[in-house]
Amino acid sequence: MGLNEMKSDFIKVKEKLKNQITFGSYQMNDKLPTETELMADFNVSRYAVRKALTELQNEHFIYKVQGSGMYVEEWNKKWNLNTESKTIGLICTHIADYIFPKVISQIDAVIGTENYSLLLANTHNDPEKERLSLIKMLDSQVAGLIIEPSESAKPNRNLDIYQQITKKNIPLLFINAKYPELDAPGILNDDTEAEKKMVSYLLEMGHRKILGIFQVDDRQGVHRMSGFMQAYQEMSIDLSDSNIIMYSSHDPFGVVSKKIDFYLNSDAYPTAIACYNDELAIEVLAKLKGQGLSIPQDISLVGFDNFDSSAYLSPGLTTMNYQRTRVGQEAGEGILSLLKGQEVKTIVHHPKLQLRNSVRKIN
């Protein structure tokens, strides 16, 4: 066996055991399998197992009882409020694209006025990556945390870590959504009211057969879908003319595209499509144009967020105005206030309708 192969074997064992410990497969003071059992489980040498266990012991994930074996240590005991730290952790579902760079840039500018810097993590809306990011941040002893939840509409798989954060009084602030089980402030949108406003506008423009497309593994999408239905109900218009496509953030656009085609080829052909956000609307616009359809002459189209490029599409996209700079400003100010021991309350924004040329009035 070569040196590189031996190295990869011990890393494989170490990372697997570390994940099993941090994800709760092994609880505090649980006994680990013996070296012989681990060798069989991973099909590796005794050297690889021993090296992996030694490193986990050095990193305080496990401890040794002479003559008995290895046990899981209280590996999160070092997660304490660190008033000396000048680093704030920011965990987002995305970092480099769409609306997020402006939010992040503004947070960084605000906390920089008091000599704090950001430690960034990107979850891609994956709760497992969120968990690993939380552990990384807490191991780094950040002064506080700003978090955009991952799959916030689903049960919170990382509640145990968040409970440790609140127990240790580590400042915590959410953006865009909150986990309902946690009493921490957030910078949020009234997504229900905003989508209701958008769909009411479409109804006022004469549309009845509206197709709503919503990402439902996030609370934002669930709330927007609720607003979609409320618009019909409050205007006493029969919801049966409308249709809804639900999708996950991990679904490729092709999954959504096929569902759209179903309605385009049926008696439920929509006169308007209301998209979860501008990112989706831009993909839908390209799809419809590629099929020879004209916007808004054949189908009206709306989005949500007022993404920078939405104004420059052909036609310009009607959307709801998500105030990225303001959200970043308030998140930065909020975490600084929490770090000073001040009370911070949740702020709820009320996005305004941004009218452009992607909707036509019908009789």
pLDDT tens-digit series, residues 252-302:
999 999 999 999 999 889 999 999 999 999 999 999 999 999 999 999 999
Which one, of 213, 328, 233, 223, lies nearest residue 274 by Cα?
213
Taking residues 41-64, what's their average pLDDT?
A: 90
**pLDDT score at 145:** 98
Taking residues 161-185, what's their average pLDDT?
A: 93
Tell me phi and psi for residue 15, to 5 degrees. Answer: -65, -40
Kind of pairing between the strands at 117-122 and 347-349 = unpaired
Rounded Cα–Cα distance for residues 148 and 92 (Å)? 5
Which architecture does CATH list for 191-323? 3-Layer(aba) Sandwich (3.40)
- Please report which confidence band the pLDDT of residue 362 belongs to, taking 50, 70 and 90 as the band edges: very high
Asked whether 198 and 353 are in contact (CB, 8 A), the reply is: yes
Q: Which of 160 and 292 is assigned the larger pLDDT?
A: 292
At residue 316, does pLDDT exceed 80?
yes
| Parts of the chain belonging to CATH 1.10.10.10 | 3-72
| Parts of the chain belonging to CATH 3.40.50.2300 | 87-188+325-349, 191-323
Rounded Cα–Cα distance for residues 301 and 296 (Å)? 7
**pLDDT score at 40:** 92
- Of the chain, the percentage scoring pLDDT greater than 70 comes to 97
Domain 3-72 fold: Arc Repressor Mutant, subunit A (1.10.10)
**pLDDT score at 277:** 97
What is the pTM (predicted TM-score) of this model? 0.83
Domain 87-188+325-349 fold: Rossmann fold (3.40.50)
**pLDDT score at 1:** 47
Work out the mean pLDDT of the chain and round it to a whole number.
93
